[in-house]
Structure 1
């Protein structure tokens, strides 16, 4: 379906600097933009589905009524949780939350348009043990990995492995301490101190991987069938040699497109995971081998747009305005 003035629904929190440039790109192209957060529900946002008489599937926010069946694209970005009336008791709030998850989730899922990304597929794809297994099956090399909450397994790995081991978080590694800014856990090489702290492994799933020698790294942003591979010369500085997220300013390298075989495998991975958008991290070894680390279905990208002048917001805006479910096709790689 093609819309003269396509409606694009953006579901994200109020403060989202990544969404703002995309909103600008959409406006420049004449899109009708509806931006809401799930925290508006149920007090400031209502959803209605009815097949009594005239069939209706509507979203209402302030004075705006949106026909969900006329939406061209949904960008399910980073919404926050429902906010219920503080006067509700805990039992009633739990019931309301459960009803909202089923009701709101079901109504949105039944919206047949282009999704970036559909939240059910997003949630599955971000499970690293799962997407790593899919990547290996599709032909990618991945680091040898131990995931466990058994301290004895870690002790045996450290004792028997001839090489360096890193610890990394399965999620973003963000720790929220009361009254403080969130702190992040970067990937770190495991040292002798692990022997004193092995008991802590019992608290949760911990991930240990072989350290892969690097020539450089690649952050690949996939927006539909458009690939934006960005080279990060992480070995040029000590602060980025293990985890480039620790840099104040990233050491970018010269642009280089992905080899055809790697691009083909990325398309296969995105298709199997059902993703339209994804941020994928690779190590490139001194021998030129690509090693897959992970795919983030909702990874950030605006910092690369600003630093390198990449037209990522424009690309995403055009995709959201397309007005039909996405189909994978030929890849276009964009340089800088």
Structure 2
């Protein structure tokens, strides 16, 4: 079993098939940084952990199938896309549920309380920053422009908003797995809606409606510490640029000072080191905040952009607490 007990370790918490994390791991390996990769979903089948608490100290070790690391020597944690916690095979449904909860609050609690670690991002900060209503409210408080928005399950209120602020789009509040006939995975896209198309289905749950921005391009801004990578996205054939990646072009651009100030205030408000912001760029050059994914993707960018983001994240993990 590989040893990582005496040297400082970067812990990468993610599932096996995470190509975004792979890029960062490869960069850290090329720098000679000791990396331990952990998927909490492998616990307890191929992960073992022992933690001791004495006074204000947390010590112990964790072991994967190939590596072993002292908890106190973990300098940084890159929290990406771990698998769900699991239970051993052969348990009843009730026993399995109990074991999964113990793992989530036990192992998950340990991974969230590492004494010397710098998190990119802390999992609890990621969780808190995933909700769109506080995203929009926080962005506005931080000086970022936010389109008029309505959250409701009231059909009449939704229709009135669409009449008053049209054109209006509908956006899902979370990208939840959704399957159609034959278990085919479906995606709920951002779509424009007319007042008369809003029906009683609105009453079944809460919906987000937002005034459509008269945009000329989209901007995906990846924030890594103090560094901002604003990428202008052109060529989207419709409202949602994710529908046709092949049609898109990407240009790394400068971030306007007022937007940079607002983005950094937003990161501070949520306690984030990393985040992926989505903006609409209108005909007057104004940035309109859409949303912020605290654990967003960036590996699909062209290599000249992707490599800069990879290096910036590796810098954060290799040199925690040092401005880079």
Please report the TM-score for the alignment, with normalisation by the length of structure 2. Answer: 0.90
Match of 1:188 among 187, 191, 206: 191
Please report how far the alpha carbon of residue 36 of structure 1 lies from its aligned counterpart in structure 2 after TM superposition.
1.6
CA contact (8 A) 2:10 2:76 kept: yes
CA contact (8 A) 1:281 1:293 kept: yes
CA contact (8 A) 1:174 1:185 kept: no
Distance 1:183 1:31, change over 3 A: same
CA contact (8 A) 1:305 1:312 kept: no
Runs of 4+ in 1 over 6 A off after TM superposition: none
Match of 2:152 among 124, 127, 148: 148
1:268 equivalenced with 2:248 (yes/no): no
1:99 equivalenced with 2:102 (yes/no): yes
CA contact (8 A) 2:159 2:196 kept: no
Matched with 2:220 is 219
Q: In terms of mean alpha carbon deviation, does 312-321 or 276-285 score higher?
A: 312-321
Matched with 2:63 is 60
Distance 1:305 1:29, change over 3 A: farther
Secondary structure at the counterpart of residue 253 of structure 2: coil
Please report how far the alpha carbon of residue 307 of structure 1 lies from its aligned counterpart in structure 2 after TM superposition.
6.7
Matched with 2:48 is 46
Match of 1:115 among 114, 119, 134: 119
CA contact (8 A) 1:6 1:321 kept: no
Matched with 1:31 is 33
Please report how far the alpha carbon of residue 51 of structure 1 lies from its aligned counterpart in structure 2 after TM superposition.
4.4
1:312 equivalenced with 2:309 (yes/no): yes
Unmatched 5+ stretches in structure 1: none
Match of 1:166 among 159, 166, 169: 169
Aligned partners of 2:181, 2:15: CA distance in 1, in Å?
A: 21
- Identify the structure with bigger relative contact order (alpha carbons < 8 Å, sequence gap 6+): 1
Aligned partners of 1:128, 1:258: CA distance in 2, in Å?
A: 23
Considering only aligned residues, what root-mean-square deviation do their CA atoms show, in Å?
A: 2.5
Aligned partners of 1:63, 1:149: CA distance in 2, in Å?
A: 50
Unmatched 5+ stretches in structure 2: none
Distance 1:229 1:90, change over 3 A: same
Q: In terms of mean alpha carbon deviation, does 134-143 or 94-103 score higher?
A: 94-103
Higher strand share: 2
Matched with 1:228 is 229
Aligned partners of 1:92, 1:98: CA distance in 2, in Å?
A: 10
Aligned partners of 1:273, 1:55: CA distance in 2, in Å?
A: 25
Residues 112-151 of structure 1: CA deviation (Å, up to 9, x unaligned): 3111110111001111101110111111110111111222
Distance 1:250 1:313, change over 3 A: farther
CA contact (8 A) 2:250 2:301 kept: no
Q: In terms of mean alpha carbon deviation, does 173-182 or 284-293 score higher?
A: 173-182
Matched with 2:131 is 127
CA contact (8 A) 2:299 2:306 kept: no
Aligned partners of 1:254, 1:82: CA distance in 2, in Å?
A: 39
CA contact (8 A) 2:220 2:277 kept: yes
Matched with 1:210 is 211
Please report how far the alpha carbon of residue 199 of structure 1 lies from its aligned counterpart in structure 2 after TM superposition.
1.7
Please report how far the alpha carbon of residue 254 of structure 1 lies from its aligned counterpart in structure 2 after TM superposition.
4.2
Matched with 1:139 is 143
Please report how far the alpha carbon of residue 5 of structure 1 lies from its aligned counterpart in structure 2 after TM superposition.
5.4
